[in-house]
Amino acid sequence: MKYPNFQLVILILIVCCLASCQHKKEAKQQVTDYEQNSINIDLVALFETAKQGKDTVITVVEDPVYHKMKKYKAVSALSILNNVERFSKIDIAKTKIVFECKDGYKPEMPLQLFLTAQPFIAYEDLDATEGAKWETIIKNGNKMDAAPFYLVYPNASPKDSRYKWPYNLIGIKLEPLSSLDNVLYPKDDQKSIVGYKLFQKYCITCHAINDIGGTMGPELNYPKSVTEYWIEDQLVKYIIDPTSFRHKVKMPKLEITKKESEEIVVYLKYMCRHKKEN
Ligand code: HEC
């Protein structure tokens, strides 16, 4: 025979195809499970109908956004959650709460931690001057306010970084902890795991990869990955200090080391080889 290994090659091809189909099926199943176990709450629409829960006046002794003592009109976040029909069916230990802000910022925390923190959704700032609903916040020289909603905890320490205090809050999502996050996990590449963890910690609140993550900054992976159009050592430098590249940049300097930035780039290069299919 001219091609003695022909049948073997075909066999290997078939096995590879089957394995890849299986992988896609698993990914689809993960996405369906994820949707069934998620709850979306549009706070703006909710407050337009009826406020869910008793109005309360609360005091925050050291407000981390206004940097002083503040008083707000607020509604308990737990009473809002308890009014959601499917909330009682959620497995709290396996769920995270994701906060959606007007500018696409998306911080998150474990639901369990949130539920024990006595969180309140503030909708009116009692220190605001006549005619204004909120006092002004000055951030990076820009003036803004906390409207429409600001999540506060009268009893949590503002120095504890596990608690998120999002303002300009518009919605809340409950999502399974680590099902879709797993889709971004570099299962088959040990070298990218450190970068994956750093990305989850520092970047995902603002940037999406394959459409998963915040939208305040640009999607970093598809259709083109940043690693395809940035020169690598410049990308590492940009991630450490964006202000040295662009004037009036919105991305903050994140206090990460060169080594950490390099690890993140290793991960971004891995994800470049695992792009979302259109
Ligand atoms: C608070 C939000 C925020 C965080 C956190 C953040 N970024 Fe950004 N990033 C932005 C915004 C907004 C831009 C768009 C440029 C600008 O205005 O700053 C950007 C731009 C970028 C760009 C340039 C994209 C391009 O196409 O030129 C890269 C790369 C990047 N970010 C990577 C990262 C990485 C990696 C992290 C985590 C270590 C991170 N960012 C954390 C908001 C953020």
**How does pLDDT run across 64-103, given as a tens digit for each residue?**
999 999 999 999 999 999 988 888 888 888 899 999 999 8
Among residues 176, 196, 211, the one where a domain terminates is: 176
Residues 167 and 217 in one domain: no
Q: Is the pLDDT reported for residue 35 higher than 90?
A: no
Pair 151, 121: CB distance under 8 Å: yes
The CA distances from residue 62 to 24, 85, 127, 136, 185, in Å, are 49, 34, 14, 17, 37
Pair 98, 144: CB distance under 8 Å: no
30, part of any domain? no
Residues 52 and 141 in one domain: yes
Alpha carbon nearest to ligand 1 atom 14, residue:
217
Residue 166 Cβ < 6 Å to ligand 1? no
Residues 43 and 167 in one domain: yes
Residues 86 and 213 in one domain: no
Query: Based on the structure, what is the number of domains in the chain?
Result: 2
Residues 156 and 75 in one domain: yes
Residues 43 and 79 in one domain: yes
Which CATH number does the domain housing residue 228 bear?
A: 1.10.760.10
How many angstroms separate the alpha carbon of residue 31 from the centre of ligand 1? 26
Residues 82 and 69 in one domain: yes
Residue 207 Cβ < 6 Å to ligand 1? yes
Pocket test for ligand 1, best of 206, 225, 234 (most atoms within 8 A of CB): 206
pLDDT in tens, 116-138: 899 999 999 999 988 888 999 88
pTM tops 0.85: no
Q: Which range is least confidently modeled, 3-12, 62-71, 208-217?
A: 3-12
How many angstroms separate the alpha carbon of residue 24 from the centre of ligand 1? 30
How many angstroms separate the alpha carbon of residue 252 from the centre of ligand 1? 8
Distance from chain centroid for Cα 233: 27
Residue 232 Cβ < 6 Å to ligand 1? no
User: Would you list the DSSP string of 29-82?
Assistant: HHHHHHHHT-EEEEHHHHHHH--SS-EEEEEETT-TTTSS-EEEEEEEHHHHHH
Among residues 127, 155, 176, the one where a domain terminates is: 176
Residues 87 and 199 in one domain: no
Alpha carbon nearest to ligand 1 atom 37, residue:
203
Residues 130 and 259 in one domain: no
Residue 202 Cβ < 6 Å to ligand 1? yes
Structure tokens at 9: 């090659």
How many angstroms separate the alpha carbon of residue 130 from the centre of ligand 1? 38
Alpha carbon nearest to ligand 1 atom 40, residue:
203
Which 3 state secondary structure label does DSSP give 206?
coil
Full residue range of the structural domain in which residue 80 is found: 39-176
* DSSP bridge pairs for 56: 74
Among residues 113, 147, 176, the one where a domain terminates is: 176
Position 230, amino acid? W
Per-residue pLDDT band for 63 (boundaries 50, 70, 90) equals very high
Per-residue pLDDT band for 234 (boundaries 50, 70, 90) equals very high
233 sits in which H/E element: helix 232-240
Residue 66 Cβ < 6 Å to ligand 1? no
26, part of any domain? no
Residues 112 and 240 in one domain: no
How many angstroms separate the alpha carbon of residue 239 from the centre of ligand 1? 7
